[in-house]
Structure formats: C-alpha cells, structure tokens
C-alpha cells in the first residue's frame, strides 16, 4: 500500500486503527515490548554482580582477572607456584583456544588436545637433547604455531561437512590416532620408513621425548618456574585482548552467526566453510603454542599427557567458565585446577565442605528465610545432640578434630566424634544417602525439617569418615559436588550468558 | 527495462518428485512480484533455488545479466539477492544490532589479524557497518530502535522478529529482496503494517521485491504482478485481478468440482 493509508484494507464498520504508536493497545506488540524491557534486567545478587561487572571497562576487567595472578609469585613458594599458578595458566591458555572452536564457532572438536601434543612434540623435535637439534625458540615457536594451524586446517578440510555429533566422532578419532602415532613413532620395527630419511626416532615412543630444551629467546633462556609463569601470564593477557577484539569484529560475529544458524549465516553473505576452517586453525594454533610452553616446562613430551583425560579437563574449564566467554576460562581454569590441589589438605577441604553446604543451602532453598531457619536449626540441633550424647555416652564425644583453629575447636563442641567410629560412621554414611534421597521427595517446610538432621549427619560423616581420606577419593567426590553446585547456580557457566535454543 | 532477475526453464527434482518444473519467471527493476500457490506448490523451493541453497537440475538463473545458479549462497547474497525465511531463522542469541551487522560480512574486508590488532581499517569498517545497521533498523521506526539494539533477538516479539529479518536482509546491500511469507502469523493490524512496509521498501528504500504470501489482502495490496504456482508449474501470471479469477488458480486452491461451481 504505497500511499501509506493504514485503515484502507479494513472491512466496513471495523474499529478505527489508532494512529498513536506509543500507547499500549490490543492487537499490536506494545505490551510485549514492555515485557521485553523487563525481561533482560538481572534480578537478585547474581544480577547485581553481573551488571556491576558489565559496567567495568574491558581493560579493568582484564586487570581484575589477571592482577591476582601477577601478585601470586611473590607470596608463594616454588611448588605452589607450579601447581596452582603455572598449570592453571597453561590450562587457561589452552581453554582459550578451545573456546574459539567450541564457544565462538560452535564446532564440537574432541581432537583439540592432539594439537596441544603436536605443539609439544614438534618443539621437542626441533629443540631437545633427544633429537639432537637445538633451535632457538624465536624460530621454533613460530614454526610450531604455523604448523599446528596447518594441521588444524587439514583436520578442518576433511571434516568441514560434519556438524555436531559427527564432527565429534571424527575429531575424537583424530586424537586417538595422534596418541597411537606418538606411542609408536620411535623408529622401531613397526614404524614407518619415511621418504629420504628412512626410519627415525621422532617421538621416543611410549617412553616419551625427553630432554626438551627450555625456551630460549635470542639467548635469554627461561629456566625458572617464575620465568615460565610470567611468560605464560603475558601470553594469556595478550591472547585474551586479541580474542576480545576478534570477538567484536566481523569474524567473531560471523562465528557466532555460524553457531546459531549456519544456513541463515550463509544466506546473509557469510562464507561458512571458510570461517569454520579459520576457527579450527586459530584454535589449533593456540593449542600448539601452549604445547611449546608445556613441553619446555616439563622438559619432555609424554604420550600419556595428551589423552582424553586432559580433553575433559579443558572442556570442563570452558563449560564452567561459560561457553564463548573469554574471561570465563581464567576462572574455570582456576577452579578446575586449583580446587583439587587445595583439597589435598584437610583444613582447606573442611572449609570448602562447609562452605559449599552453606552456599548450596542459601542458593537452593527458596524463600531465603527457610535456608536461614535450616542453618540456625542445624546449629542448635548439633549443640543439643552433643550435650545429650555427652551426658549419656562419654565415648561419643571423646574424639577431637584433626587440624584445629577456632573453627575446629567450635566443631569439637558441635559434631559427635566418637573414638573408634569406623562402624558407626559407615552406618551413618548409609543413613546420609537415604536421608538425601528422602530430601528430594518432601516439599515445603517438611524439607526444612528433614534438612536439619541430614545436614548434621553430613557433618558427622565428613568429620568421622571422609576427612581421613581427603587426599584420595573424598577429594574427587567433593570436586564433583562443587562442580554440580556451580553448574546449578550458573547453568550456562560462571561468565556465560543464558542461551536460548528454540523459542 | 531489462529484467533484474530471470529464471529460465528452471527444473528441480527431489528424488522422483519434480518440485519445480520448467519454470520461467522474471522480476523487473522496481517491481513487486508476488508468488502464490497452495501448500507444496514449490514456492519456497523457488526461493531456495534463487538463493543457492539448492542448485537447479536444469535451466539457469540470471541476476543483473549474470548467471547466479551454481554459486554458493553467500556469493549470491553478495551479488545483491537477500532473503527472509518462512520459519524465522534469526541468530537468536545475538543482539538485535549484531544480527543486522552480521549480515554485512560480505560488505567488509578487514581480516581477523587486523581486528586483533585493531588496525585502522578494521575500526573504520566497524564504525561504518554499525551506522548502516542502525540506519536499517531505523527504517522500522521505534520498534527496533533505542534500547532494543542491545537486546538478544530471542527477547523480541514474533512481529518484531519478522521485522528484524527484513532489516537483516536489507543490510546485505541487496537490490532484490525475497520475502518468504512476511505476514505469516501476524494479526490483522500487523498484517496491514506489513503491507504498508513492503510498499515503503520499494518506494522509499528502492528495493525490488519478490514475495511469497498466502494472505490475499496483502497480495492484492502490494503486487504489481502475481505469479501462481501449482505442483511446480506456473499456472497463471498477471495482475492480481487476472490471476485471482483464473480458472486454473481457483482449481488449484479449491479443487475441480468447487472450481466448476465458482465459474
């Protein structure tokens, strides 16, 4: 209707079409429009934090995330710096690369770790006592990065038609093939005979490629943990900045469009295949680069390091941090690598245990006063039980908390600690599992009522049974519980934004 | 005037089923042409053939005098043909503005390295396409403007999603817009608005438009020319009046017996 007359097509006698656009009325989407406005405002504590975080300018966010890392080496010892610091950073860089492939472009790449291993091995071949070559790092590292990118391109080329599960299978096969290759490419009987050079010991087979040179840039050798730590930290900061810009650029947008709907992306002038290959190449290049660091740090490359276990760890980091979030990988790496290390000591583990319980209670129970009632109730319940049992059965309170501190001493008066508690604790463990199951069946205030003895039982089992095995199985149970709680609180990752599949 | 888009004897089979049969169709510069036909007539397939999602088994498709059949979808879009989808295919988890800016990939050249280092060309292009995106969204008045730029597309109402798809198609720098049922699922008020909008797309924004539509009020309101398809065959072509009263069209929609009664 070129003349723009709105009411022209209406039948006789129909109500006149209002001309004001800013007034809510039936039949237009003004009501929905207001609804939209309300919907995106975050509520509660998480919303507040999220909005505050959004308000910080990007350089400030980077400084907040990485600042603590810069201070860390000066307040800790060598062993902790390696375990908590360097490994976390290496995982974070590695996760950053995976985040491009999985988070930005949405390609489920399960072969990612192969690129990491490829980087370490290739660096080892170019610079190690094992191979006999000693290339400078300023030459070797760029060669590794470019070669890994090309390997990524190769994997992309054979699998660009595939999506989702199918891509996952092919890339997983690629990882397995890589592991088998490095396990066997030691110039032994079953190894290939390469053109021109014949049989060569490339990877050292199952024994690994040892004596890899430290990174040596223009004669500056990085030899200390601290040196590698800062090298990795700077690399992480630079890569995060670069990826931040890429994410905002046409390429980043095209990757996200591709993740959302490849067909629509193609119809909107995006060369889908080229962008997929680009994502593969970038992810691979970052993994290869990280491989050179890891190889040099370990001064060796061993086939067992580059398998599905590490793949799952890195995926956990990316998912926990939030798919597609650049800052998230740092937090994800910190939790996934830091938490199990922290849990090796029983004092740390105790804080984490009670912390997770209280946090889960406060977040999971709604409305909030029920959680408070449950907490206060459990505390009172504990002291009451302790007093009663202390009066009738002296052995029941005779034990003492391992470790101590003010918190430990308070616990001494709260939780029952019988001497020789093995059998009782075993039964209590069983009862705890039953109580936890009952808890899922009851609703409302009954849940609070059941919650109180359950929580106390959990504390009892923890102090009498689990804490002894804290460096073993308990650690993993607790880590699992922690991850479950985090993912329940933030289903799309700590820094992730909620994604909608079909509306 | 030479035809902007021309389909010459285009045929497409899905297995043993002939979906589009020897179809000839032309759209002249500045025209609004409607394609009608019962469900399964092959209308959307024609769109998929034009935009390169399918390739014709025989025949050719020519745009601006150059053959486009056989090209990849993104190449065809870069040549100047953009479409909307019958089942909306927005990038739901991207913001409104990003949706439109994503469609300008073909109009920009900065490489990923330039973006990484924020070199001048990347920044300049970014600024330019942002302005274009805002301008395209402004075409829809307040509905997609202001605070809504940074809302995710999934938070939009259905009608606004349809508008956003059109804005996205406009942003590709197209000369020809293919609109696949732009009024589907809209209430009468919104349908009227769509009718007016399509007119404005041609008169104010200068697009040539090929549209699939089931709502005959819309078709009547906008079309310079109507093409009716049934079983992949063009059964009628002409003004709305001619096509709407064409016996084959009535038969296609109502069946032989009803058609006889009507005539």
Compute the count of residue pairs across chains A and B with CB atoms less than 8 Å apart.
Answer: 171
Count CB-CB contacts under 10 A for residue A221. 13
Show the tokens assigned to B162.
């349809």
Q: Closest to A269 (Cβ–Cβ): which among B106, B193, B203? A: B106
pLDDT of residue A46: 65
DSSP codes, A257-308: HHHH-HHHHHHTT--HHHHHHHHHHHHHHHHHHHHHHHHHHHTEE-GGGSSH
Which position has the higher pLDDT, B165 or B147? B165
Q: Closest to B98 (Cβ–Cβ): which among A251, A253, A499? A: A253
- CB contact under 8 Å between B221 and A17, yes or no, is no
Res B169 pLDDT > 80: yes
Residues of chain B in contact with residue A254, where contact means CB-CB under 8 angstroms, are: 102, 105
For each of the domains in chain A, give its residue range(s) and CATH number, in order of start. 1-55 (no CATH), 58-344 (1.10.3470), 347-469 (no CATH)
Residues of chain B in contact with residue A256, where contact means CB-CB under 8 angstroms, are: 91, 93-94, 98, 102
Res B5 pLDDT > 90: yes
Check CB contact of B86 with chain A, cutoff 8 Å.
no
CA B132 – CA B104 distance, rounded (Å): 9
CA B192 – CA A1 distance, rounded (Å): 9
Q: A439-474: string of b/e by CB count within 10 Å (b at 16+)? A: eeeeeeeebbebbbbbbbbbbbbbbbbbbeebeeeb
For residue B114, name the pLDDT band (cuts at 50, 70, 90).
very high
- Average pLDDT rounded to a whole number, residues B127-149: 88
Substitution target from B112, B146, B223 for chain A, most A beta carbons within 10 A = B112
Check CB contact of A253 with chain B, cutoff 8 Å.
yes
Residues of chain B in contact with residue A257, where contact means CB-CB under 8 angstroms, are: 91, 94, 102, 105
**Which H or E element spans position B62?**
strand B58-63
In chain A, residues 436-495 whose CB comes closer than 8 Å to chain B: none
Q: Are A125 and A299 in contact (CB under 8 A)?
A: no
Which residue on chain A is closest to B51 by alpha carbon? A267
Which residue on chain B is closest to A244 by alpha carbon? B116
pLDDT of residue B68: 94
Question: Among A276, A306, A278, A287, which Cα is nearest to A145's?
Answer: A287
> Could you say which DSSP state residue A127 is in?
B
In this predicted model, what pLDDT tens digit does every residue of A441-492 receive, in sequence order?
988 888 889 999 999 999 998 888 887 777 677 777 777 877 887 887 777 8
Q: Closest to A260 (Cβ–Cβ): which among B93, B116, B117? A: B93
In A300-447, where do the E strands start and end? 300-301
pLDDT of residue B255: 84
In chain B, residues 122-181 whose CB comes closer than 8 Å to chain A: 122, 125-126, 129, 141-143, 147-148, 151-152, 154-160, 168-169, 172
- Average pLDDT rounded to a whole number, residues B49-60: 94
Show the tokens assigned to A426.
């075993």
Residues of chain A in contact with residue B189, where contact means CB-CB under 8 angstroms, are: 17, 27-28
Chain centroid, CA B137 distance in Å: 17
- CB contact under 8 Å between A268 and B105, yes or no, is yes
In this predicted model, what pLDDT tens digit does every residue of A321-348 receive, in sequence order?
988 889 999 999 998 988 887 777 777 7
Q: How confident is the prediction for chain B on average, in pLDDT?
A: 91
- Specify the 3-state DSSP secondary structure of A41: coil
**Which H or E element spans position A460?**
helix A445-464
Residue recorded with tokens 């610079």? A127
Check CB contact of A20 with chain B, cutoff 8 Å.
no
Predicted complex ipTM:
0.91
> Looking at CA atoms only, how far is residue B213 from chain A in angstroms?
15
pLDDT of residue A5: 44
CA A294 – CA A226 distance, rounded (Å): 14
pLDDT of residue A415: 86
Which residue on chain B is closest to A7 by alpha carbon? B192
pLDDT of residue B50: 95
pLDDT of residue A352: 80
Across A126-130, B44-48, B154-158, least confident range = B154-158
Residues of chain A in contact with residue B107, where contact means CB-CB under 8 angstroms, are: 269
Q: Closest to B89 (Cβ–Cβ): which among A245, A263, A271? A: A263
Q: Closest to A264 (Cβ–Cβ): which among B91, B151, B157? A: B91
Within chain A, which residues score under 70 in pLDDT?
A: 1-46, 190, 402-404, 471, 501-503
pLDDT of residue A12: 52
- Average pLDDT rounded to a whole number, residues B245-259: 86
- CB contact under 8 Å between B199 and A1, yes or no, is yes
Residue B124 has, within 13 A of its CA and on its CB side, a CA count of: 6
- CB contact under 8 Å between B107 and A269, yes or no, is yes
Residues with Cβ within 8 Å of residue A387, at least 6 apart in sequence: none
pLDDT of residue A43: 58
In chain B, residues 9-28 whose CB comes closer than 8 Å to chain A: none
- Average pLDDT rounded to a whole number, residues B244-254: 89
pLDDT of residue B96: 93
pLDDT of residue A163: 77
- CB contact under 8 Å between B53 and A278, yes or no, is no
Count CB-CB contacts under 10 A for residue A412. 16
């Amino acid at each position: 209707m070129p003349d723009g007359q709105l009411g022209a097509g209406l039948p006789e006698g129909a109500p006149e079409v209002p001309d004001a656009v800013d007034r809510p009325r039936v039949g237009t989407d003004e009501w929905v429009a207001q609804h939209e406005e309300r919907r995106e405002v975050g509520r509660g504590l998480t919303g507040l934090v999220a909005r505050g975080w959004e308000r910080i300018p990007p350089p400030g966010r980077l400084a907040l995330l990485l600042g603590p890392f810069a201070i860390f080496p000066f307040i800790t010892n060598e062993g902790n710096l390696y375990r908590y610091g360097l490994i976390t950073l290496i995982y974070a860089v590695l996760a950053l690369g995976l985040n491009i492939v999985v988070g930005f472009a949405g390609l489920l790449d399960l072969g990612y770790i192969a690129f990491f291993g490829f980087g370490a091995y290739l660096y080892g071949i170019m610079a190690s006592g094992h191979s006999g070559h000693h290339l400078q790092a300023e030459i070797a590292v760029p060669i590794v990065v470019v070669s890994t990118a090309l390997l990524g391109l190769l994997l992309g080329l054979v699998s660009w038609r595939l999506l989702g599960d199918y891509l996952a299978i092919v890339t997983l096969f690629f990882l397995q093939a890589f592991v088998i290759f490095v396990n066997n490419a030691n110039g032994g009987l079953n190894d290939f005979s390469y053109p021109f050079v014949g049989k060569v010991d490339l990877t050292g087979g199952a024994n690994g490629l040892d004596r890899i040179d430290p990174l040596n840039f223009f004669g500056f050798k990085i030899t200390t943990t601290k040196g590698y730590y800062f090298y990795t930290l700077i690399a992480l900061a630079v890569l995060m900045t670069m990826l931040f810009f890429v994410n905002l650029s046409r390429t980043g947008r095209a990757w996200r469009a591709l993740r959302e709907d490849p067909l629509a992306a193609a119809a909107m002038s995006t060369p889908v295949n080229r962008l997929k290959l680009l994502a593969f190449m970038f992810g691979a290049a970052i993994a290869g680069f990280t491989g050179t660091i890891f190889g040099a740090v370990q001064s060796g490359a061993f086939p067992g390091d580059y398998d599905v276990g590490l793949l799952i760890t890195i995926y956990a980091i990316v998912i926990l941090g939030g798919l597609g979030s650049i800052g998230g990988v740092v937090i994800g790496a910190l939790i996934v690598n830091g938490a199990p290390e922290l849990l090796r000591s029983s004092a740390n583990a105790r804080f984490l245990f009670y912390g997770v319980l209280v946090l889960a209670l406060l977040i999971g129970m709604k409305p909030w006063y029920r959680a408070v009632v449950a907490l206060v109730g459990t505390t009172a319940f504990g002291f009451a039980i302790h007093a009663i049992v202390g009066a009738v059965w002296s052995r029941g309170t005779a034990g003492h908390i391992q470790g101590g501190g003010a918190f430990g001493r308070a616990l001494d008066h709260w939780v029952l600690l019988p001497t020789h508690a093995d059998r009782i604790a075993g039964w209590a463990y069983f009862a705890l599992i039953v109580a936890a199951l009952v808890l899922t069946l009851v609703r409302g205030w009954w849940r609070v009522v059941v919650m109180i003895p359950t929580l106390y039982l959990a504390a009892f089992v923890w102090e009498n049974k689990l804490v002894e095995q804290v460096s073993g199985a308990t650690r993993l149970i607790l880590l699992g519980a922690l991850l479950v709680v985090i993912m329940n609180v933030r289903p799309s990752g700590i820094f992730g934004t909620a994604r909608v599949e079909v509306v | 005037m030479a035809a902007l888009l021309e389909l010459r004897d285009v045929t497409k089979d899905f297995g043993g089923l002939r979906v589009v049969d020897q179809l000839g169709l032309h759209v002249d510069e500045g025209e609004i042409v409607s394609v009608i036909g019962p469900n399964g007539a092959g209308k959307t397939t024609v769109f998929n053939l034009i935009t390169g999602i399918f390739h014709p088994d025989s025949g050719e498709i020519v745009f601006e005098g150059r053959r486009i059949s056989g090209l990849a979808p993104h190449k065809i879009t870069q040549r100047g043909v953009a479409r909307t989808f019958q089942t909306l295919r927005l990038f739901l988890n991207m913001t409104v503005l990003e949706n439109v800016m994503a469609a300008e990939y073909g109009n920009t050249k900065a490489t990923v390295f330039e973006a990484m280092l924020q070199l001048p060309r990347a920044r300049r292009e970014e600024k330019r396409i942002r302005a274009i995106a805002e301008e395209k969204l402004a075409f829809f008045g307040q509905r997609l403007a202001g605070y809504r730029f940074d809302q995710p597309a999934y938070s939009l109402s259905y009608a606004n999603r349809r508008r956003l798809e059109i804005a996205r198609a406009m942003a590709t720098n197209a000369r020809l817009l293919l609109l696949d049922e732009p009024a589907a699922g809209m209430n009468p008020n919104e349908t009227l608005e769509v009718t007016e909008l399509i007119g404005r797309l041609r008169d104010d924004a200068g697009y040539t438009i090929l549209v699939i539509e089931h709502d005959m009020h819309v078709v009547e309101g906008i079309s310079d020319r109507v093409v009716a398809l049934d079983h992949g065959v063009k059964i009628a072509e002409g003004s709305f009046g001619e096509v709407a009263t064409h016996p084959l069209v009535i038969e296609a929609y109502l069946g032989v017996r009803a058609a006889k009664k009507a005539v």
